[in-house]
Chains A and B, each alone.
Chain A
Amino acid sequence: MCAVILPPRDPAPSRWAYRLQRLWLTPLFRTAVLKGLPLAVLLAIPAGWLADADRREALRAEVADIRRQVETRPEFMVKLMAIEGATPSVDEDIREILPLDFPVSSFDLDLKEMRRTVEGLDAVRSAEMRVRPGGILELRVVERVPALVWRSPEGLALLDAQGNRVAPIEARGARPDLPLIAGRGADKAVPEALHLIAAAGPIGSRLRGLVRVGERRWDVVLDRDQRILLPTRNAVATLERVIALDGVSDMLGRDIVVVDLRNPDRPTVRLAPEAVEEFRRIRRLQAGATN
């Protein structure tokens, strides 16, 4: 009874088993299999599903539909617009340039763009917009305050203190309370004009307006066609000088057509033609001549 003893199993790995084990112990390969492979599978499943154009289209439609449903919920709807701080005419203008068709979803409102549009209006200095709870689009407007009437080649216009156009007007008589300026480029020097008008307070009753000459200096026009020609620089101080002279010697009350201060070192006055005659006559009389 001889038992057949099998030779002990050879423990040696085959060449391929050995190589595979070594490959498996290679860090790069190991990382690639353990982390890269699951990641690749996870990416490949959706990618394979999306490879079909119809499915992509359906998915896009689905997403758009859900988005629309959320956007059109009543919580997000804007039902009306409230405008604060605007006069009725500006209010009307704003409602005209903002083409809103209420009710509208607040997702569809581009507040920045709308604000830019509203601030593009001449009469609006600044605007704030927000969607208030309750579906109200609140628009808070600060209007420009007209400070001057400008007679320009294009017609009459109101300007605010910074020289921005506020609105056109039909006639000077519509705003008799505002001072008048004229001349090309006058709107660029509105702050100086306002200073001059303030400085001309003592002769305010006689002031007709200011004229911008050559886009660099001002003429002060008084009634009786009197003009004060101011220099380019230090116009306000020069005007105050003139007013002081007027206060001392009632200069402007005399028959003078032009007070020329374009060169402040050499003030010049021009008399009216009759006054020149009269002046010459008086000089002759004083000289003792008889005619």
Chain B
Amino acid sequence: MTDLYQAQRAMRRMRKQAMDRGVIAILDVGSSKTACLVLRFDGIRPAGGVEQIGALAGQSRFRVIGAATTRSRGVRFGEIHGMHEAERAIRTAVQAAQKMAQVRVDHVIACFSGAGPRSYGLDGQVELAESMATEADIARVLAACEMPPIGPGREVLHAQPVNFALDHRSGLVDPRGQIGHRLACDMHLLTVDAGAIQNLVHCVKRCDLELAGIASSAYASGMSALVEDEQELGAACIDMGGGATGLSIFIKKHMIYADSVRMGGEHVTADISKGLHVPIATAERIKTLHGGVVATGVDDREMIDLGGDSGDYERDTRRISRTELIGIMRPRVEEILEEVRARLDAAGFEHLPSQQIVLTGAGSQIPGLDGLASRILGQQVRLGRPMRVQGLPQSATGPGFAAAVGLCLFASHPQDEWWDFDIPAERHPARSLKRAVRWFKENW
């Protein structure tokens, strides 16, 4: 646990360093595409001091100066599968983004969607030493949360304090300086497979980059695709990616649950490829150009040339109607959505005050998906696109870049995590002398 704590703290330090330098890269390692954005922080402080957020909800503090996308290789289900291939993809994206930005980046914040995220809700409480809650008390209460058995080979990716309660008052965002006796907190812990993180760290290191932060892409897309009141009132963001579909639930501007379904757009493509006996590339083209999930009468008459170069005339001139294509795609999309529904039910989504569902990710661009999703997931479904950030090229504003844009926000406005606070003195083995001194002071 202390290892992880130190590693995460080191990443935070790296992030601060990058902020001081003013340039940081965002890397979204997805199953179908690898995107890299280069951000420049100009150090523009909001006019009203620290308390104010500033113009454009604080997004005016940075600017995207380089963006590049490349086809992913060696990534499956949102996890790195072939190290060298993935490294080459990262290198391609980073190099192109650097070239566009004309600046060298050394620090990178990465996100990935797979690796079996699992959410835990923790709580802890402590008696305050003095009547006023201090930062050390917050560190103590965070440390007082009991660590659940996350199992071997798992790592903590996020550990965010979600809620603080002081005596009988709950829902505090910042209890520092408030008067009370008993401080309690709720913490959301997200764990992933350690192997996936290690692979990613290794890939990034092989590209001569420093990892300045790591996030779950479900969290990142929720940050960018949900609008502020949705985050406040409760909403689920479903990021339909290529190899995995991530879902994250937000309430009171905090993520309280995240999960991922190991199915995505590539499975739809594979179904088309198998069902129509066409190569994967053709299937992908047919899916993006003619795909859909709701068949109508017109679709029977819309014929699609499958093409081919086998040399067999009969095979190369096959045509199918769009209805057939929809007939292949729809079951798989339904299956994905039903799986998401099951995860949401398991998380207790129906108990939230508002049950807004936002579909984002490149997979959400299938025509008619919102209608299908509202039948499976609930009535309040909308298609979400990432918010606009300065300097982002038009080609990178689609829903497929929700995670990348979310990471930009993660870089500029990181949420407090457990490791942002110092370990309380009681936990620290090196400070036992200090503890002894304190014991003497208190008892003599």
Which of A's residues lie within 8 Å of B, judged by CB? 1-3, 5, 10-13, 15, 17-19, 21-22, 25-27
Q: A1-B311, A18-B207 are in contact. Are A13 and B92 (CB under 8 A)?
A: yes
Judge whether A2 and B310 touch: CB under 8 Å. yes
Shortest beta-carbon distance from B82 to chain A in Å: 13
| Contacting residues, chain A, for B208 (C-beta < 8 A) | 18-19, 22
Kindly specify which of B96-104, B298-306, B432-440 makes contact with the partner chain.
B96-104
Instruction: Check B330 for interface membership: any CB of A closer than 8 A.
Output: no
Residues of the B chain whose Cβ atoms lie less than 8 Å from the Cβ of A25: 98, 102-104
What CA separation (Å) do A19 and B106 show in the bound complex? 12
B88 touches A21 (CB 8 A): no
Contacts of B70 in A (CB 8 A): 11-12
Closest 8 pairs (CB-CB, A-B):
A12-B88, A25-B104, A12-B92, A18-B91, A13-B95, A11-B92, A22-B104, A2-B311
Most buried by B among A3, A12, A25: A12
Q: Which chain B residues lie closer than 8 Å to A27 at the CB level?
A: 104
B37 to chain A, nearest CB (A): 16
Contact between B91 and A12 (Cβ–Cβ < 8 Å)? yes
Query: Min CB distance, A120 to chain B, in Å?
Result: 70
What 1/0 mask marks residues of chain B from 62 to 101 whose CB sits below 8 Å from any chain A CB? 0000000010000000000000000011011011001100
B309 in the interface (beta carbon within 8 A): yes
Residues of chain B lying within 8 A (CB to CB) of residue A19: 208
Q: Which residues of B contact A22 (CB under 8 A)?
A: 98, 104, 208
* Interface residues of chain A: helix, strand, loop or mixed (majority): loop
Q: Which residues of B contact A18 (CB under 8 A)?
A: 91, 94-95, 207-208
Closest residue of chain A to B88 (Cβ to Cβ) is: A12
Q: Are A13 and B311 touching (Cβ within 8 A)?
A: no
Residues of B within 8 A of A12 (CB): 70, 88-89, 91-92
Residues on A with C-beta less than 8 A from B207 are 18
Q: What residue of chain A has the Cβ atom nearest to residue B71's Cβ? A: A11
Q: A2-B311, A13-B92 are in contact. List 12 more A-B contacts (CB 8 A).
A: A2-B309, A11-B92, A12-B70, A12-B91, A13-B91, A13-B95, A15-B91, A17-B95, A18-B94, A21-B95, A25-B98, A25-B104
B208 to chain A, nearest CB (A): 7
A19 → chain B, closest Cβ, in Å? 7
Complex: A18 Cα to B92 Cα, angstroms: 8
Instruction: State which residues 294-335 of B face A: CB under 8 Å.
Output: 309-311
- Interface pairs (23), CB distance under 8 Å: A2-B310, A2-B311, A3-B309, A5-B309, A11-B70, A11-B92, A12-B70, A12-B91, A12-B92, A13-B95, A15-B91, A18-B94, A18-B207, A19-B208, A21-B99, A22-B98, A22-B104, A22-B208, A25-B98, A25-B102, A25-B103, A25-B104, A26-B104
